């Protein structure tokens, strides 16, 4: 069984920027989609069996890099912020800021990604990119088919647009290069490398930085021939040559002559007093071992309390994990209200980070669609009309997200109250709500026992 959804997938524009003679901006190697896994809440894919309230969707190479998926992104619009609706022939003039070009599979470290180049025409959007707004949200349709409880496969990916957004989910592994390739033999300290690795937002980015450092330390220049990135770790310079005729001078910090630099006599190094070296090492380690022993003696009485604290922290962590996510609760509330207004409307799903602008925009679009769908039924038209007056779809399309949210909640609540009122009226009509005398006059309110007696009499009569 498959289920089709609109997806909002976030990434970061790689920093490879070029400017055309006309002033247009070209962003090279922008991630459009990639293989791997994405996690969804159970309510986002209701037709797929969930596990622990979640579903992991798998993107296979055959799907991401199929000719149809790749070509579906060619020539698609580039927008500034995610639009409330799909980009189509009716709204492209107001939304389009650029165009997606040359969709293709990445190479090397980017071989798991579908890449594209983006030509940006709008000067305001160009300024935002140059100022650091680099994350993109890729809108596309996709189907899902169940593999097993908690796992599904994403298939038939079809692109609609790519948007510039404030917040996405992809880290430095998708980073943009708006600078020239690093000069060969650029001197990078170990501190620089560690700082970059520590600041990396995900494991892939850290591995990339550390691999770069490893290539530099091992002198493997071939690893970076393509982009000109080279790292040289300085571990010290060789000692200056001794003036001619000057013999070996005693080292005041090494009276026994145990310390030798790289230029020392290898034969002398071999003849070093091994026992003396071991004694020096043991002497240096003695204070450390004493300190460790003393520290162990102090910690040992505290171990039961530490263990108890750790167990308590684990219990609290599990309790926090079990708490409902506010974003998830808001999404579930929106889905439930949409089902009241328009039961046939498909539920939304998106890959945008919960709480991000892309996620909020996707939910706003879903609420707008629910209001429009409600106008196709008498009950829905009555509820929406009571809130907005005489309204048509084009007016709903022009409303701001805040107006949509208010109208959505008010209309769904009004329709819910109306449904409840009809249910109560039916019940009161069936039971009359009161026990009456022979003349039909009310005597008292009907109790559950009265209802049961009336039911028994009815079925006995039948």
Check residue 190 and give its pLDDT. Answer: 46
Domain borders along the chain are: 2-174, 190-224, 273-314, 326-422
CA–chain centroid gap for 416, Å, is: 34
Q: Which two tokens stand for residue 338?
A: 């949409």
pLDDT higher than threshold 80 for residue 301:
yes
* Higher pLDDT among residues 249 and 423, named by residue: 249
Max mean pLDDT range (208-212, 213-217, 409-413): 409-413
pLDDT higher than threshold 70 for residue 209:
no
| Pairing status of strand 17-19 against strand 96-105 | unpaired
C-alpha distance from residue 286 to each of 124, 201, 273, 283, 410 (Å): 66, 41, 20, 5, 76
Q: What is the pLDDT of residues 335-375, one digit of tens each?
A: 888 888 888 777 666 556 666 777 788 888 888 888 888 88
Whether 17 contacts 27, CB under 8 Å: yes
Check residue 370 and give its pLDDT. Answer: 87
CA distance 171 to 135: 9
CA distance 129 to 444: 74
* 3-class SS of residue 341: helix
Closest CA to 154 of 289, 27, 56: 56
Residue 115 has, within 13 A of its CA and on its CB side, a CA count of 20
> For residue 197, what are the contacts with CB-CB under 8 A and spacing of at least 6?
206, 209, 210, 213
Check residue 204 and give its pLDDT. Answer: 54
Check residue 335 and give its pLDDT. Answer: 83
Check residue 103 and give its pLDDT. Answer: 95
Number of helices and strands in the chain (H, E): 15, 12
Check residue 427 and give its pLDDT. Answer: 45
CA distance 410 to 416: 10
Mean pLDDT (the chain, rounded): 72
Average pLDDT over residues 21-26: 94
Per-residue confidence band for 177, with pLDDT thresholds at 50, 70 and 90: very low
Whether 172 contacts 159, CB under 8 Å: no
Whether 13 contacts 165, CB under 8 Å: no
Average pLDDT over residues 222-228: 41
C-alpha distance from residue 108 to each of 201, 224, 267 (Å): 21, 11, 48
Closest CA to 8 of 142, 155, 140, 112: 140
For residue 336, which phi and psi values (nearest 5 degrees)?
-65, -40
Max mean pLDDT range (61-65, 220-224, 403-407): 61-65
Average pLDDT over residues 414-439: 60
Q: Which two tokens stand for residue 203?
A: 């494991």
pLDDT higher than threshold 50 for residue 53:
yes
The position carrying tokens 């998708």 is: 174
Average pLDDT over residues 298-324: 76
pLDDT higher than threshold 60 for residue 306:
yes
Check residue 337 and give its pLDDT. Answer: 86
Q: Which of 74-78, 141-145, 350-354, 362-366 has the lowest mean pLDDT?
A: 350-354
Closest CA to 6 of 352, 282, 297: 352
* Higher pLDDT among residues 462 and 183, named by residue: 462
Output the pTM of the full model.
0.42
Per-residue confidence band for 170, with pLDDT thresholds at 50, 70 and 90: very low
Check residue 292 and give its pLDDT. Answer: 83
Per-residue confidence band for 214, with pLDDT thresholds at 50, 70 and 90: low
Instruction: Give the helix/strand (H/E) hosting 295.
Output: helix 274-299
Check residue 336 and give its pLDDT. Answer: 85
Average pLDDT over residues 368-384: 85
Average pLDDT over residues 166-177: 43
Closest CA to 232 of 251, 216, 215, 255: 216
Check residue 249 and give its pLDDT. Answer: 57
Q: Residues, the chain, total?
A: 462
The Cβ of residue 189 has, within 10 Å, a number of other Cβ atoms equal to 12
What is the share, in percent, of the chain residues with pLDDT greater than 90? 19
* Higher pLDDT among residues 89 and 301, named by residue: 89
Check residue 416 and give its pLDDT. Answer: 78
CA–chain centroid gap for 391, Å, is: 37
Check residue 97 and give its pLDDT. Answer: 96
The position carrying tokens 């506010």 is: 326
| Pairing status of strand 17-19 against strand 25-34 | antiparallel
pLDDT higher than threshold 70 for residue 66:
yes
CA–chain centroid gap for 383, Å, is: 36
């Amino acid at each position: 069984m498959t289920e089709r959804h609109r997806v909002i997938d976030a990434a970061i524009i790689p920093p490879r920027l070029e400017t055309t003679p006309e002033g247009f901006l070209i962003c090279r190697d922008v991630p459009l989609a990639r293989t791997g896994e994405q996690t969804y809440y159970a309510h986002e894919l209701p037709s797929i069996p969930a596990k622990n309230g979640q579903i992991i969707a798998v993107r296979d190479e055959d799907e991401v890099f199929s000719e149809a998926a790749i070509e579906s992104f060619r020539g698609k619009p580039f927008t500034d912020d995610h639009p409330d609706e799909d980009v189509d022939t009716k709204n492209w003039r107001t939304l389009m800021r650029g165009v997606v070009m040359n969709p293709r599979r990445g190479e090397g470290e980017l071989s798991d990604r579908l890449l594209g180049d983006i030509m940006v025409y709008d000067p305001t959007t160009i300024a935002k990119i140059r100022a650091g707004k680099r994350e993109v949200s890729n809108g596309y349709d996709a189907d899902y088919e169940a593999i097993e409880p908690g796992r599904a496969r994403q298939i038939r990916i079809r692109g609609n647009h790519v948007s510039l957004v404030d917040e996405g989910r992809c880290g430095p592994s998708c980073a943009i290069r708006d600078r020239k390739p690093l000069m060969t033999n650029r001197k990078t300290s170990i501190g620089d490398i560690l700082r970059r690795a520590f600041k990396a937002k995900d494991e892939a980015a850290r591995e990339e930085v550390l691999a770069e450092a490893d290539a530099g330390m091992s002198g493997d220049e071939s690893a970076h021939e393509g982009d000109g990135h080279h790292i040289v770790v300085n571990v010290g310079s060789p000692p200056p040559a001794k003036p001619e005729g000057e013999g070996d001078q005693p080292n005041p910090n090494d009276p026994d002559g145990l310390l030798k630099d790289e230029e020392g006599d290898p034969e002398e190094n071999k003849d070093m007093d091994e026992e003396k070296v071991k004694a020096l090492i043991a002497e240096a380690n003695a204070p450390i071992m004493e300190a460790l022993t003393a520290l162990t003696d102090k910690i040992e009485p505290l171990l039961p309390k530490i263990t108890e604290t750790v167990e308590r922290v684990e219990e609290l962590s599990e309790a926090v994990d079990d708490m409902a996510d506010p974003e998830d609760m808001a999404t579930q509330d929106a889905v439930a209200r949409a089902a009241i207004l328009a039961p046939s409307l498909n539920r939304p799903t998106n890959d945008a980070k919960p709480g991000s602008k892309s996620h909020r925009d996707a939910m706003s679009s879903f609420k707008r669609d629910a209001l429009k769908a409600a106008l196709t039924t008498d009950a829905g038209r009555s509820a929406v009309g009571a809130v907005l007056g005489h309204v048509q779809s084009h007016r709903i399309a022009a409303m701001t997200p805040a107006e949509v949210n208010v109208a959505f909640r008010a209309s769904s609540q009004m329709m819910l109250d109306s449904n409840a009122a009809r249910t109560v009226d039916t019940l009161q009509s069936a039971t009359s709500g009161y026990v009456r005398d022979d003349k039909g006059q009310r005597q008292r309110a009907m109790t559950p026992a009265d209802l049961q007696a009336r039911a028994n009499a009815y079925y006995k009569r039948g």
